[in-house]
Structure 1
Amino acid sequence: MKLGVMASALFGYLPSTMTFTLVAVIILLLLSAAAAAFVASSPSAGNGMLFGSNVGANRRRACDSSLLHRLQLRAAQVRAHANEGEELSGAPGQPPSTVIVGGGPAGYATAIMLARRGWANITVLERRPPLPPPNSDSWGDPDRSYNMGINGRGQRLLKDIQCIDRLYRYSVPVRGRFTWSEGNKTALRIFTDRTATSRIIQRDRLASLLYEEITDKYPQQIQVAFNTTCTNLEAANDGRLLVQVNNSTATHIHTHFVVGADGARSFVRDGLGFSAVRFPESNTRVYKIMPLKLPKDMRMDLDYIAGRPDGVALDALPTPEGNMIGVVLFRPEDTQVASLNTAESVRRYVRERFAAVVPYIEEEQYALFAKRKTCSLPSFSYAAGPLHRTDPAPVVLLGDAIHCVKPYFGQGVNSAFEDVEVLQRCLQECGDDLRRALPLYTKRRAPQAKALVELSRSFDKDPRSPSGFLLFVLPLILDGIFHNLMPRLFATNPIALMQNDDLTFTGIRRRKRLDRLGQVALMAAVVTAVGRTITLGLKTLLFMTA
């Protein structure tokens, strides 16, 4: 969000008209930027690398042995019925058993989607203990979980699986952005170009409400094993997968289908040899929590942002409890922020650099900020190659396991929900035949995963650096100029386009490439015309003076 605010602020200083001289300068800069962008957008052998397949012992957790015992009994029943030729699934084509690794929002949403299709014997493996219920008072604690926005992409799936009412109950809308800038200047922007109003909710609370949906409606079809970590995946002799989990005694589950929804460091992806491209960090940011408490006369349906030219920004989003969960984003090498280890040093820093927000910070938060840990943001990565396997048993990946982006523009969980939606359509079209549905899912989703990461990575630039200006700021300025002058010919900037859930990520990338070519061609024509006019004028002047 910080990068988007900085870019939008630049539009405010843009002159209403451009001289021909400025056009000539910009075209030279744009040509340089276009060449650099094509190089930067494609990972090469030098800057992309494959994830390894080793699994560290530190990922192991103790599991609920009683539940795992029941799962083993269920697996034995499945094997027995399978040997007798019986089908335990809800309909022909559906696998007799499914294991979903990862009990986050994407994993739970996948389980609900499958259960609604009539699938049975669905087991979700979650490495953490159970979360508080979504109506718990503990969600008012700003350190409990970070906020995220569920936009139109995410809401579409939640409507499909009939969880949208729970989202509305435990989230709040954000309809605009309020910005404090240098010199106590303020700006209010109400979002009018978005297909849906984003709903703000804590990430873990979202997982909790989906788990509540499972326990309320699908207890016979879905079981969740908490405190359970997958430690190994291997082919069984009968064509199924053997899923080993960590317990006081080694425990395993036989299954016919595995879903890897276990995040950016996916065990399923790495353990089964799927490859992923990871990009090196070029604009590292870290953050610490700083809550705000707004008075009742201030709007609670806004994203509040305070930014500084040195790259430090405070971004606060609302919660249903009435407080704002704010994060202070800064560079890890910023020693001023890193050295804030007392309440007084934090108070002094905030008053000097974020004076406008001082009235909204409760006194005890200065000391708490000094004690809070510094958190890192994920690195960009995407799955390279197929997102599935069908032999010896079907496996599919989704969510951060296939596309991991930084949370600046709210596409992480929303694109994960879109993965689940696409998988649902593929299953519907193929009659739940996984050997047909999973290749179709890869065909439709792999290009989108790559495009999402490449687009998001193109925004992750330091606008103060020459490369950041050429590759990030200048294209945004040009998009604003050309879209305002010729809105039917040129689209708005890609950041705004990504908020339109009717557009695909590959479509956005293709459209902006065409826009760049059109911008270059149009400016080249203008410069050529100006050059010819100047040449003709000089010739005329020389003729008249001769």
Structure 2
Amino acid sequence: MVMQKWTSLLLLVASAPQYGFCFTSPLPLTSLTKDPPSTRVDFTIKDANTSYRGLATSSSTASTSSSIQDAVSDTNSASSPASHYDSVVVGGGPAGLLAGIMLAQMQPIDASISDGQRPRIVVFDRLPPPPSPDNLVYSTDISKYYLLGLGHRGQRALRRFKVWDDVSKASVAVMGRRDWSPGKTREEDGVVRMSDKAVVSRVLARDKLVGVLKEVIDTRYKGVIDLKYGYQVDPVSFGDDCGSQVQLQVSQCIPLNDNEECSIENGNMVPATITTNFLIGADGAARTIANAMETNDVERRQRMNPLRRLFDKPQFRVTRKLLGDDVMTDVAKKPSSNLPGFRFAGPKLHEGGRTVILGDCIHTVKPYYGLGANTALEDVMILSDILNSTPDLSRSLNAAVEQFTKERSADSQALVTLSRGMDRPGKLGTVRFVLPLVLDSIFNKMAPKVFGPSMFGMFQKEGIGFRQIQRKKRLDRAMQSAVILSGLTLVGFGTKTLVKTVAKSLGLKSEVVGGSMFGLLALTSVARKLFAKKTETNA
């Protein structure tokens, strides 16, 4: 791609004077997926029906490894989950933790539950807790962490739930970038391009953002939100539209010691099933909840009367990666290569009347344009707006989850489609990436009220969804094509008229005059190139 021919470095203006200007180069995609030399925390999840084995990777530094091991130990020695929660969030990433904070700021779904008796919200995650946001590893070993750029979407969501000040202190501002031409390596050879955006992006490591949100929960929502790390959650029943509760099977994992397989703790400590009034799936690309929703929807349709099936809503689908998890180990041993990373779930984002999914599990994109995490945080904000505007949630929760599908399903698919369209491989992909940017730049300068800015410019505009962006760019392409075709038609008609006029005045055939004019243009072009080459040689 054309982007690979240039090395773009972010110009970071640090929030503290001692940092000054910091330059960091974006990592290749393959380096984000390849295991670096690190301390690995293996775990196995077992219960009567399933066996799951996973891998959690921490930093290679001793301090970080120690903190993660201690955190896992503390988590596994903590009290078992309760048998019932008002709300359950599956996934402890940015979207999952922010969803927990959002729910804590609301009234309970079940009005009979009050804060102070016991935690009414629980957030489950399969991995160990993240390092503390104050851990020095974030500044000394930055290459080990995936950096997030928080734009207007993410910042607006974090401000909504009063955590932006905490996140802002842990991040740095991106004021622009420095570009180097091929073959140029000196710092003074780079060209600084300052950004002209209404909202200045802030950058921090993804794990650091998770650490900040976890710290907010630990300090402000203790006793309201229960954080459970090292847990696998599998839906047993999504309930139904009439209001029955969601049932979940929960299994706790213990880290391996000396390569011995681990098992879940005593069954008396970990309930076989728990129930909840409201389930949010925010488990990213793992998609435990989304996959269970798909299976449930397939089984429901199979039991349905064939005639009724014709008029039923579209079946829920999860688009999948081309390579399964069983192949990924072998692929990782091979030389670096590009793997497909764009997936979405839909057309509905809810199951029954008490479950929704959001974040990366409904729109998985590559980390090029700062859209994944920002859109996931925006999902939480939109869900909050819907829940707060729905009267009597204990009776109308099904209407709220259906409304979330209406507002976010099309946008999620449009986000993945737009991102995928800018990441096509090969020379044709390069043309499809560069040509629209050039056309948008030209036409937007000619008629800014008619033609929108480039796709990147549209992403930075506030108050516009991805579905609207998709429709706008389709309209722009149609109008640009019409203008170009009209221009070519006029040029062709004018050239033909000119040839006929000259031929008539000279008493020659039009073909002779046309060929002569074409030959003259070709000779002129060759002469200009020879003259330029000679001038360059003399210089």
Q: Distance in 1 between matches of 2:144 and 2:128?
A: 14
Cα gap change, 1:239/1:128 in structure 2, threshold over 3 Å: closer, same or farther?
same
Is structure 2 residue 388 aligned with structure 1 residue 428?
yes
Deviations 1:186-216 (A, max 9, x none): 2211110x23111111101101111111111
Q: Distance in 2 between matches of 1:104 and 1:56?
A: 23
For 1:219-258, list aligned pairs within 5 A. 219-234=222-237, 239-247=244-252, 248=264, 249-250=266-267, 251=271, 252-258=273-279
For 1:350-369, list aligned pairs within 5 A. none
Deviation at 1:491, TM superposition (A): 1.6
- When normalised by structure 1's length, the TM-score is 0.65
Q: Distance in 2 between matches of 1:65 and 1:228?
A: 9
**Partner residue, 2:41:** none
Is structure 2 residue 148 aligned with structure 1 residue 148?
yes
Deviation at 1:437, TM superposition (A): 1.0
Q: Distance in 2 between matches of 1:507 and 1:272?
A: 28
Deviation at 1:378, TM superposition (A): 6.8
Cα gap change, 1:70/1:459 in structure 2, threshold over 3 Å: closer, same or farther?
closer
Could you tell me which amino acid in structure 2 is paired with residue 122 of structure 1?
A: I
Deviations 1:82-105 (A, max 9, x none): xxxxxxxxxxxxxx6111101111
Q: Distance in 2 between matches of 1:332 and 1:474?
A: 34
Is structure 2 residue 149 aligned with structure 1 residue 188?
no
Q: Distance in 2 between matches of 1:236 and 1:538?
A: 77
Q: Tell me, which stretches of 5 or more residues in structure 1 are unaligned? A: 10-53, 76-95, 287-330, 339-373
Deviation at 1:168, TM superposition (A): 1.2
Q: Of the candidates 358, 378, 381, which is equivalent to residue 398 of structure 1?
A: 358
3-state SS of paired residue (1:71): coil
Is structure 2 residue 372 aligned with structure 1 residue 383?
no
**Partner residue, 1:157:** 157
Deviations 1:76-127 (A, max 9, x none): xxxxxxxxxxxxxxxxxxxx61111011110000010111113351011011
Cα gap change, 1:535/1:376 in structure 2, threshold over 3 Å: closer, same or farther?
closer
Please tell me whether the aligned partners of residues 343 and 365 of structure 2 are also in contact (alpha carbons under 8 angstroms): yes
Cα gap change, 1:4/1:143 in structure 2, threshold over 3 Å: closer, same or farther?
closer
Q: Distance in 2 between matches of 1:375 and 1:531?
A: 46
Q: Of the candidates 468, 488, 493, which is equivalent to residue 429 of structure 2?
A: 468
Q: Distance in 2 between matches of 1:399 and 1:145?
A: 20
Deviation at 1:60, TM superposition (A): 9.6
Please tell me whether the aligned partners of residues 278 and 379 of structure 1 are also in contact (alpha carbons under 8 angstroms): no
Cα gap change, 1:154/1:375 in structure 2, threshold over 3 Å: closer, same or farther?
farther
Could you tell me which amino acid in structure 2 is paired with residue 526 of structure 1?
A: G
For 1:119-138, list aligned pairs within 5 A. 119=108, 121-138=120-137
Deviations 1:463-522 (A, max 9, x none): xx3311432222222122222333232222112211223321111111111111111111
**Partner residue, 2:87:** 98
Is structure 2 residue 523 aligned with structure 1 residue 534?
no
Cα gap change, 1:228/1:456 in structure 2, threshold over 3 Å: closer, same or farther?
same
Q: Of the candidates 205, 211, 215, which is equivalent to residue 212 of structure 1?
A: 215
Q: Distance in 2 between matches of 1:485 and 1:5?
A: 30
3-state SS of paired residue (1:100): strand
- When normalised by structure 2's length, the TM-score is 0.66
Deviation larger for 261-270 or 58-67: 58-67
- State the structure with more CA Rg: 2
Q: Of the candidates 263, 278, 288, which is equivalent to residue 267 of structure 1?
A: 288
Is structure 2 residue 59 aligned with structure 1 residue 69?
no
Deviation at 1:133, TM superposition (A): 2.0
Q: Distance in 2 between matches of 1:395 and 1:466?
A: 43
Cα gap change, 1:142/1:521 in structure 2, threshold over 3 Å: closer, same or farther?
same
Q: Indicate the RMSD between aligned Cα atoms, in angstroms.
A: 3.1
Q: Distance in 1 between matches of 2:7 and 2:437?
A: 8
Cα gap change, 1:56/1:453 in structure 2, threshold over 3 Å: closer, same or farther?
farther
Could you tell me which amino acid in structure 2 is paired with residue 162 of structure 1?
A: K
Q: Distance in 1 between matches of 2:181 and 2:506?
A: 56
How many residues were matched structurally? 388
Deviations 1:40-64 (A, max 9, x none): xxxxxxxxxxxxxx98722599995
Q: Distance in 1 between matches of 2:467 and 2:373?
A: 18
Could you tell me which amino acid in structure 2 is paired with residue 408 of structure 1?
A: Y
Deviations 1:367-391 (A, max 9, x none): xxxxxxx798771000121100235
Could you tell me which amino acid in structure 2 is paired with residue 230 of structure 1?
A: V
Is structure 2 residue 403 aligned with structure 1 residue 440?
yes
Deviations 1:218-262 (A, max 9, x none): 112110111111144335799222211213245332212111000
